[in-house]
Chain A
Amino acid sequence: DQQVKQNSPSLSVQEGRISILNCDYTNSMFDYFLWYKKYPAEGPTFLISISSIKDKNEDGRFTVFLNKSAKHLSLHIVPSQPGDSAVYFCAARSYSGANNLFFGTGTRLTVIP
C-alpha cells in the first residue's frame, strides 16, 4: 500500500515561473517530511525538509508547505530555473523502526528555457 503519493508524474514550467509539486500521505503518524531531487544516472540528493510541527519551511528558492489536516505537502520553486529539471521525490518518515522512510513515486519537472 502506497503511503506516500505523488499523483503528477510530470510537470512542465516556463523558466522564471513558479513550480508547484504536490504530495499526499495517508499515515498521520509521520513526523518528518523530505524532498529529494534526482538527476538521471545519479542518486537522489536531499533538498529540503519540514517537521510535522511546522507548516512552512523556506530555503532560498525552495519552500515546502505542510497541511496536516489534509495530509498534504507541496514544494514550491520560485523562480524556476532550467537546472531544476529533475525528478523530485517526496518522502515521509515514521517515528520508529529501521524501515522508516517512505517515498512517493516521483514527479519529473521540466523547466523550459
Chain B
Amino acid sequence: SQTIHQWPATLVQPVGSPLSLECTVEGTSNPNLYWYRQAAGRGLQLLFYSVGIGQISSEVPQNLSASRPQDRQFILSSKKLLLSDSGFYLCAWSGGLGGYTFGSGTRLTVV
C-alpha cells in the first residue's frame, strides 16, 4: 500500500537559518507531489508541485524553494528563513480514494 512520510514533525529555527523539510512516498511510482502550507487561521496554500524528477512548479513567489532529486522524494528548502515562514507544512501526493493523500505535517516556528 502507498504511504507518505514527512519529517520532522516539529521544528524551531532562528530567523536567517536554512530549512530543509523532506517528504517521501512509498508504494507508487512517478507520483505527482505537492507542498502546502497552512498558516495560522488560514486555509491550505499550495506552494509547489512536481510531476517528475527535477520538475518543479511554483505557485507563490516566496522565500522557499523545492526540489525533487528522486522519483519519490520531495524537499522543501530555504536559504534564510523569515518570521513569516512560520506555519504548518504539508506534503501530499496525488493518489488514493481522496484525490490527494497528505503527510502528517511539519510545524515550523521561526523565532
Binding site for B on A (CB under 8 A): 6, 9, 32, 34, 36, 41-47, 49, 89, 91, 93, 98-101, 103-106
Contact = CB atoms under 8 A, between A and B. Distances in A.
B44 A99 contact: no
Given A6-B43, A99-B49, A101-B94, 4 more contacts: A44-B102, A46-B101, A98-B57, A105-B43
17 contacts: A32-B99, A34-B98, A36-B98, A36-B102, A43-B90, A44-B44, A44-B90, A46-B97, A46-B101, A49-B98, A89-B43, A91-B100, A93-B99, A98-B94, A104-B43, A105-B42, A106-B43
Contacts of A89: 43-44
Interface stretch (B11-19, B78-86, B103-111): B103-111
B67 interface: no
B105 A42 contact: yes
Interface of B: 6, 9, 32, 41-44, 46, 49, 51, 57, 59, 88, 90, 92, 94, 96-105, 107
B105 A41 contact: yes
A75 to B, nearest CB: 14
A105 B57 CA distance: 22
Given A44-B90, A98-B32, A105-B43, A34 B102 contact: no
A105 B39 CA distance: 11
A32 B90 CA distance: 22
B51 A98 contact: yes
A103 B41 CA distance: 15
B30 to A, nearest CB: 11
Nearest to A104: B43
A101 B43 contact: no
B104 A106 contact: no
A98 B97 contact: no
Contacts of B99: 32, 34, 46, 49, 91, 93, 101
